[in-house]
Structure 1
């Protein structure tokens, strides 16, 4: 079955980076690029018809401009408009087209996590049947450095599998945040320090075994590096992104139906890199 990438185009200047990345990914994967723009369903029918023609023409012109700017080949593509609620139509189109991935531009209200929840991007992330890419950086090069926060959850294993499958030539860094009871009270005690170091070593071996088992299921695997950092998972991740932002962050949705997790809201409000959010299973 041929692959389909669904790009939700809103015609804004901020959407241009996502458009370029969508074209690049379609070329690299051999997928068809379906470009969808959602129109206001409450416009008069005659205006809606004229607007539809203008939107399709504008998208086609933008596609040509971006290809020329980035020196990209023309992928197999389909441009279409639909009328309705943006997030609901994007989800519906993804289901009907059996999309392999949804691509959108980044959240525009940067630095305001409390405003993320009601955006089209956040709503799509909650209900998407496939991985969703939030793109905020220019598509000048392929994603090479990919960061994947890891734990022992089903969501994490699924996200890592999706990342390994989609980016076999990338360099993956697996980041795990750990906290061991008693660190604040006993951290200076030598016996406790030895016990703590033993526990961290066991944790590393466990993570390595989990990763090796998953890698054995795949034909091609990229270069991997495992990092263990002490602290709260959200703060460890945000510190890592500020200090050394990757090209792409691959994150699991944790299956939190109906609401965005705190970590996702922070990441969408502070996009240090492009983000791929995967469903929980």
Structure 2
């Protein structure tokens, strides 16, 4: 997927600084158009038409001032109404290839964003949603793609590879084992390991990503809850982007943002790219 149009919704608050910087960096890197969206409250009907016009001009000027990089092509959109609906409408209108969003983990607004706006975007937008947490100090260097060997995680991997062709890529698979294995029975453990190895091999072979991309793949298979395995990997490998599908066989990639995906959004220290499988309604 080539990034041609990136949509960045902003409310001008401080929590938009990091996602704005990343949106600008991606637009510059990909030579993509950057569309800035601001959702206004319903207009004050008591204002005169000239006053409303002046207010809109002021907001649009402020919106344009968000980006001072002359190498980036910037378009602005002002909308009214529900924030999520406005973002979805704008994304469809401009045919956005990526929606860049921020997240706050320290107040009630953050809970609201994770629980409703981001979830609605992921469920209904045709474009992937990039949730930015870290400062955009450089291009993405190390990318982790969570996989449960489903078609959904394959789609997420293909999207990540296409968007960030220069990043190192690790396929991450977390597994649990039956209780009897925990008690020391080696037979089930060996069978499980063989099954995982077979599934992994079949999954990689089935990917239509080309040999060059296939050779870029590193693999990390570990036991434990996926959120913990992912957190450990991000911290030890200095991963700066996690890619997560939003439909698949496990709770990690539930049709809506399930508890595991919410945990990844809340706990991972890196940015998270959420990719909805096309054709799932």
Q: TM-score, normalised by structure 2?
A: 0.84
Pairwise CA distance, 1:106? 1.7
Is 1:237 matched with 2:217? no
Query: Which stretch shows the higher mean deviation, 113-122 or 229-238?
Result: 113-122
Pairwise CA distance, 1:223? 2.2
CA contact (8 A) 2:231 2:268 kept: no
Is 1:10 matched with 2:8? no
2-structure distance, mates of 1:125, 1:144 = 24
CA contact (8 A) 2:144 2:171 kept: yes
- The Cα offsets for residues 8-43 of structure 1, whole Å up to 9 and x where unpaired, read as 111111101111111111111121111111111243
Pairwise CA distance, 1:218? 7.2
Report the secondary structure of 1:268's partner residue: helix
Pairwise CA distance, 1:273? 1.0
CA contact (8 A) 1:35 1:77 kept: yes
Query: 49, 53, 71: which one pairs with 1:49?
Result: 53
Report the secondary structure of 2:207's partner residue: helix
Report the secondary structure of 1:82's partner residue: strand
Query: 247, 265, 281: which one pairs with 1:254?
Result: 247
The answer for the alignment partner of 1:62 in structure 2 is: 66
Query: Which stretch shows the higher mean deviation, 34-43 or 211-220?
Result: 211-220
Query: 120, 125, 137: which one pairs with 2:122?
Result: 125
Question: How has the CA–CA distance of structure 1 residues 216 and 2 changed in structure 2, closer, same or farther, with 3 Å as cutoff?
Answer: closer
Question: How has the CA–CA distance of structure 1 residues 156 and 48 changed in structure 2, closer, same or farther, with 3 Å as cutoff?
Answer: farther
- In the comparison of the two structures, how many residue pairs are matched? 269
Segments of 5+ residues of structure 1 without an aligned counterpart are 68-72
Report the secondary structure of 1:63's partner residue: coil
**Higher RCO (CA < 8 A, seq sep 6+):** 1
1-structure distance, mates of 2:182, 2:262 = 32
- The Cα offsets for residues 164-185 of structure 1, whole Å up to 9 and x where unpaired, read as 1111211111110112323xx3
The answer for the alignment partner of 2:40 in structure 1 is: 39
CA contact (8 A) 1:7 1:19 kept: yes
CA contact (8 A) 1:254 1:279 kept: yes
2-structure distance, mates of 1:224, 1:280 = 21
CA contact (8 A) 1:3 1:31 kept: yes
1-structure distance, mates of 2:159, 2:62 = 33
Pairwise CA distance, 1:216? 4.3
Pairwise CA distance, 1:74? 1.9
CA contact (8 A) 2:42 2:81 kept: yes
Report the secondary structure of 2:265's partner residue: helix
- The Cα offsets for residues 79-117 of structure 1, whole Å up to 9 and x where unpaired, read as 121112111010011112211111111234469986555
Query: Which stretch shows the higher mean deviation, 157-166 or 204-213?
Result: 204-213
Q: TM-score, normalised by structure 1?
A: 0.84
1-structure distance, mates of 2:235, 2:14 = 25
2-structure distance, mates of 1:180, 1:2 = 40
- The Cα offsets for residues 237-277 of structure 1, whole Å up to 9 and x where unpaired, read as 244345555110100112755x4211222233335111100
